[in-house]
Amino acid sequence: MNIKQLIKDYFVFNRNERKGIAILLILIFFFAIANRLVFYLETPAQITTVLLDSVSQQLGALNDSINRGEHNMHLFAFDPNTIDSTTLSNLEISEQVKLNLLRYRHKGGEFYTKSDFRKIYGVTDDIFLRIEPYLLLDNDRKLESISASKNELFLFDPNTASDDDFIRLGLSGKLIATIRKYQRNGGVYRKKSDFLEMRCLPESQKKILTDYVSFIPVENVPSRIIELNSADSVLLEQLPGIGDKLSKRIVKYRDLLGGFSSLVQLKEVYGLNEQVIFQIQDKVSVDTTKIRRLDLNFADFNELSRHPYLKKNLSKRIIGYRVKYGKIPTLKILCDSMILDIEEYNRLKPYCKE
């Protein structure tokens, strides 16, 4: 296309178009000047002092209200199972934690020990350390009242005494909890001073109990080997470092497996650390004849997927192989068919019928 023709087509205007452009430029110039004149000629609005004072008073009242609310909040003893929302609003913790506490209770959650409060979403270690001394559980109050009402004196071994024995002796719930924590961590009282020099044992009780502490020397206590595949949670609690929660977790995981095939599997129990396993390894045994085995040819998907070593993915693949090829003669064939790798094969071998 010719450049001259292009310029002529787009940049040459007739008489009416030139008039329109001229009028548009004049209007733009006029409005630009008018905008500047309005800015210089406009009279500033008068400030209403009455309105200003009113707003200032409202802000002051709001600030005082907030400050009073903050001052009303403080830490105090409370039972997380029963505290109501009104009382909770005065507790000096974040609003999110308060809301999560109420939600947890609304869904049926309950606090049995102080450490259960740590389950609340938003409760950090720092918050828990601040709140823990103020947690007052109903179980603690009952234990305190029982210990205050029943005081008897008799010979006892602090290593073997039950909670009822300690209550009859007049020990507080807090002290009993301290003793149990010490024992769960593998602690053993070997002489009177080990027990009587506990910080939380009052001097008055030390004097009273001195003549009643009686020990069976630890080295003379007959050792008992506990068989893991037949022991219940109560029996497992006798092991050093194993409390109520860990004993129940061991039994639950054992039932899911169908029984332990090796002590090494204790590492798979949630919360059971290697230090505790080292302490108990010479006090427990495993009887592999008690293992409950899976029949891969007849077990349905739900039965297979419940096993910790199978889960849903492997269960689907095993059932898929069974549908396609029929009977599974040995577990090894699943390994040869690339359904199981070597590690999975070795873990499952003790739990499958051949």
Give the DSSP letter string of 294-327. Answer: B-TTT--HHHHHTSTTTHHHHHHHHHHHHHHH--
Lowest mean pLDDT among 58-67, 89-98, 203-212: 58-67
Q: Give the whole-angstrom CA distance, residue 299 versus residue 314.
A: 13
Is pLDDT above 70 for 202?
Answer: yes
Per-residue pLDDT tens over the stretch 152-190: 788 888 888 888 788 888 888 888 888 887 777 667 788
Architecture of domain 73-134: Orthogonal Bundle (1.10)
The answer to whether 155 touches 214, Cβ cutoff 8 Å, is: yes
The confidence score (pLDDT) of residue 146 equals 40
CATH number, domain 226-290, options 1.10.3720.10, 1.10.150.310, 3.40.630.10, 1.10.10.10: 1.10.150.310
Name which of 267, 325, 319, 269 is nearest 298 in CA terms: 319
Q: Determine which of 128-132, 173-177, 220-224, 306-310 has the lowest per-residue pLDDT on average.
A: 220-224
Task: Name 184's Cβ contacts closer than 8 Å, sequence gap at least 6.
Answer: 240, 241, 242, 243, 246
Alpha carbon 293 to its chain centroid, in Å, reads 33
- pLDDT tens sequence across 260-294: 999 999 999 998 888 888 888 888 999 999 999 98
Half-sphere exposure of residue 7: CA atoms within 13 angstroms, side-chain side: 3
Rounded distance between C-alpha atoms, residue 330 and residue 296, angstroms: 9
Q: Phi and psi at residue 338, in whole multiples of 5°?
A: 65, 20
b/e per residue, 48-87, with b = 16+ CB within 10 A?
A: eeeeeeeeeeeeeeeeeeeeeeeeeeeeeebebeebeeee
Asked if the domains 73-134 and 226-290 are classified in one and the same CATH topology, the answer is: yes
pLDDT at residue 17, rounded to an integer: 77
Q: What is the DSSP letter of 142?
A: H
Among 179, 207, 176, 204, which Cα is nearest to 194's?
A: 179
Could you state, in order of their start, the residue ranges of all structural domains in the chain?
3-34, 73-134, 138-220, 226-290, 301-351
Residues 6+ positions from 253 with CB-CB distance below 8 Å: 268, 269, 270, 308
Helix (H) or strand (E) holding 226: strand 226-227
pLDDT of res. 221: 43
pLDDT tens for 36-85 read 776 666 555 555 555 555 556 556 555 555 454 444 567 778 888 888 88
